[in-house]
Every structure is written in structure tokens, then in C-alpha cells.
Amino acid sequence: MADSGAHRLGPGRRTETPLSPADGQSSMTANKPCVLEVFSLPEPDPSCRLVWFAMRTKSLCEHKVVIGLRERGFDAYLPAEADWKRNKTGSRERRERPLIPGYVFVGVGPGKSLYFAMQVESATGVVGWDGQAREIDPRFVYGLRARQAAGEFDHTASKRDAFRPGMKAKVLLKGPFQDLIGRILKSGKDGRVELMMCEALNWKASMHVDELKLVEDEKKAA
């Protein structure tokens, strides 16, 4: 690893303006110094000897670039988050999308050249200054990987264990029940719970926990 933390690029390729992800999660914004948060995690394995860079990609081509990098023998990482999306039939589908749109991380090991990584189709540049690619602190990359592996960016994880009989929950799903508060009667193994929406009318409804918000949580956030 060079002491200066900078690497000259090969001919015909340019560096992108250094950009900054807020809290390591939101999209990078232009014309700002590259400031990457370091998380309190164990040091990366020193035997790995990878030097990491942030690579810019064409719009919606992050996965394509990662595949191209791996085919060339590079370690590539695309941070992603998961959430639910409604399809045309109204059913929910799990969807993954880039955590930092337009960017991937490439690890360059001994005997590998960043210049050849930049030849991957749909790669448009690398974060750097004055024609020099800047290294990314490996703890930032491994920190994101650890958080993703722990499910921190997975918004589809079941919350059913937190929904217990007797608790109250607000309906988030658009429709006739939206914003109504019901009392949980029972929960099932499939992640659905039965709620009493109106005691006087004995009005009950069955919903998935991902379509509900505990009233206690709402009060804490206020």
C-alpha cells in the first residue's frame, strides 16, 4: 500500500470528484471532500492485503460492474439494502437496491492493477483527486459488510416477536384500516396477527406485522 494513499491511473481514465456518504448509508453528493466514517469494528485481517477504492458506475449498472470486476479476479462489494415492494397484483416482493447508488467498492490485491479494474464495462471513474485514486479505509468497507451481514440494512426482517397479545398497533397499509389502532389478539407463525379494530362491533382484521407499527414505538419516537 502506497504511503501517500494515492495511485496514478492509467491513460484514458479519469478520477471522479470525491464524494461523501452521510453515515455510510445515503447517496453520495458531488463537490464535497471524501469523508468516510470508520465504525468500531475489529481490524481487517492484515494477511488480506487488499487496497480498497470507491468506483463510480453508470446509472443502474452497479451489479453489472461487480460481476465484471469479479470476472477479472478483483474483490468487489456492493452494499445493498432490502425492503418490500408491491407488484402489479398487490402482492409484496422483496427488493434489494444499492445502499450507495452509483458506487461499488473494489479491492485490489498484490499483482493486480487498478487500471485494469477501470476497464470493466459501465465503470466510469474512481474517487480521487488530481488524477490520483484515493484509497478507502478498509475498516469502512468491512464495517459496511459486517452491518449488512448482521441484517442492519434488511428492512424485510420479521418483527413478529415484538407483537404480542394485548399490545396496540397502528395500521400502516393504505386502505380502509390505514392509521386505525387495533389491539392484538393473537399472532401466527406466518408473521400475521389478528387485531380487534372495534370492540363494539366485534370488528377484527388479520394483517402482517410489516404492515403495522406498535403504538409504544410511535410514542418513543415523538
Residue indicated by cell numbers 453528493: 29
The tens-digit pLDDT sequence of the chain (222 residues) is: 444 455 655 544 444 444 333 333 333 333 333 333 333 334 555 546 899 999 999 999 999 999 999 999 999 999 999 887 877 877 778 889 999 999 999 999 999 999 999 999 999 999 998 889 999 999 999 999 999 888 888 877 656 567 889 999 998 888 888 889 999 998 876 678 899 998 888 888 888 877 888 886 544 444
What CATH code is assigned to 160-221? 2.30.30.30
pLDDT at 75: 96
Question: Could you write out the DSSP letters of every residue in 134-164?
Answer: EPBPHHHHHHHHHHHHTTTTBTTS--GGG--
Provide the residue ranges of all domains of the chain, joining segments of one domain with +.
6-149, 160-221
Topology (CATH level 3) of domain 6-149: Alpha-Beta Plaits (3.30.70)
Here the cell at position 220 is: 418513543
